[in-house]
């Protein structure tokens, strides 16, 4: 049991050495893209909601 845990931890360390973490500028750039996308989508969905509400109001 102890040997399997030790082997697992060794494998975890080996895999962590292969991971490439993003740099600070890459993280900031990706975060900016996500925030801009979210804002644009919220504006688009708000416009669609307003138009559909207006149409339903005209029909009723």
Please write the tens of the pLDDT for every residue from 7-59.
Answer: 999 999 999 999 999 999 999 999 999 999 999 999 999 999 999 999 999 99
Question: Which pLDDT does position 51 carry in this prediction?
Answer: 98
Where do the domains of the chain lie? 23-60
Q: How many CB atoms lie within 10 A of CB 48?
A: 10
Question: Which pLDDT does position 2 carry in this prediction?
Answer: 87
Give the Cα separation of 10 and 13 in Å (integer): 5
- Are 46 and 54 in contact by the 8 Å Cβ rule? The answer is no
Give the Cα separation of 49 and 27 in Å (integer): 33
CB burial class (10 A; 0-12, 13-18, 19+) of residue 19? exposed
Give the Cα separation of 34 and 40 in Å (integer): 10
Q: Is the pLDDT of residue 1 over 90?
A: no
More confident residue, 2 or 14: 14
Its pTM stands at 0.68
């Amino acid at each position: 049991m102890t040997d399997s845990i030790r082997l697992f931890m060794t494998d975890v360390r080996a895999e962590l050495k292969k991971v490439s973490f993003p740099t600070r500028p890459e993280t900031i750039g990706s975060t900016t893209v996500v925030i801009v996308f979210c804002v644009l989508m919220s504006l688009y969905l708000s416009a669609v909601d307003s138009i559909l509400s207006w149409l339903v109001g005209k029909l009723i």
